[in-house]
């Protein structure tokens, strides 16, 4: 998605070889027009999957999930992050380890909203080690629902997340795939398919 790559190139800040800051349009300040395009692109890529729900993780996944949901006409559910387990019989929970913060969070979703038979599209802002996405797939499985795909805004392709998700059998679509952040420069993987 060219407009997204352009925003990353122009406004992204490379903090280190592993860390890209996109606070000015995705993670803290949100560019609504770009987010709308991101949603249209996800909807286009997953349009034949008969999606019934979109599942994401608070907070940065909410905006691109909402614009995708507007296109597809399905609800968004955002999973909540908590440091400690809230004991509730009505929650599905999964543990997610964050390499960045070196801490494990519990992510939760109500059993009322992901239910048996649901065809769920998972959306997240970043894919690095894949821990958050795998946690979300675990919530869907616990509900006896199906993950029909995983949509990622920015994939750090030099980290193992995508491989882990594909090895687990999931269909991953990433709108921008970053091959390297070395020397303070963002390198992209150019896809073979026509890529807007």
Confirm or reject binding of residue 110 to its own copies (CB under 8 A).
Answer: yes
Among 3, 40, 80, 164, binds its own copies (CB under 8 A): 80
27 annotated ligand binder: yes
Among 3, 18, 31, 98, binds its own copies (CB under 8 A): 31
Q: Is 34 known as a binding-site position?
A: no
- Does position 10 interact with its own copies (CB under 8 A)? The reply is no
Axis-axis angle for helices 62-72, 32-45 (nearest 10): 60
Asked if residue 87 lies in contact with residue 63, where contact means CB atoms within 8 angstroms, the answer is: no
- Residue 185 vs residues 36, 75, 139, 152: alpha-carbon distances, Å: 27, 37, 36, 21
Asked if 106 contacts 83 with a C-beta cutoff of 8 angstroms, the reply is: yes
DSSP notation for 34-46: HHHHHHHHHHHHT
Task: Out of 48, 73, 89, 185, point to the residue binding its own copies (CB under 8 A).
Answer: 73
Looking at the DSSP assignment, which residues form a beta bridge with residue 55?
77, 122
Classified as helix, coil or strand, 147 is strand
* Residue from the set 10, 47, 75, 99 that interacts with its own copies by CB under 8 A: 75
Is 76 an interacting residue with respect to its own copies (CB under 8 A)?
yes
**Least distance CB 32 / its own copies (angstroms):** 4
- Residue 83 · residue 102 · CB < 8 Å: no
Shortest spacing between CB 60 and its own copies, in angstroms: 9
Place of tokens 């993780």: 57
* Minimum distance of its own copies from residue 89's CB (angstroms): 15
Q: Is 173 in the site for its own copies (CB under 8 A)?
A: no
Candidates 14, 69, 165, 178; binder of its own copies (CB under 8 A) is 69
For its own copies, the binding residues (CB under 8 A) are 23-24, 28-33, 35-36, 58-59, 62-63, 66-67, 69-70, 73-78, 80, 109-110, 112-113
């Amino acid at each position: 998605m060219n407009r997204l790559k352009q925003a990353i190139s122009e406004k992204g800040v490379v903090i280190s070889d592993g860390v890209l800051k996109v606070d000015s349009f995705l993670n803290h300040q949100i560019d609504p027009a770009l987010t709308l395009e991101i949603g249209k692109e996800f909807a286009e890529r997953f349009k034949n999957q008969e999606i019934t729900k979109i599942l994401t993780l608070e907070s940065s996944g909410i905006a691109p999930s909402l614009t995708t949901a507007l296109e597809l006409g399905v609800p968004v559910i955002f999973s909540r992050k908590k440091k400690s387990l809230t004991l509730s019989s009505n929650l599905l929970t999964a543990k997610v380890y964050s390499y960045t913060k070196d801490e494990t969070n519990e992510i939760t979703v109500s059993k009322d909203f992901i239910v048996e038979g649901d065809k769920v599209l998972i959306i997240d802002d970043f894919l690095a080690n894949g821990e958050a996405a795998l946690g979300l797939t675990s919530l869907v499985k616990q509900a006896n629902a199906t993950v029909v795909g995983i949509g990622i805004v920015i994939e750090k392709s030099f980290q193992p997340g995508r491989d882990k998700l594909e090895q687990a059998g999931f269909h991953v679509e990433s709108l921008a795939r970053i091959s390297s952040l070395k020397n303070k420069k963002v390198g992209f993987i150019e896809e073979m398919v026509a890529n807007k």
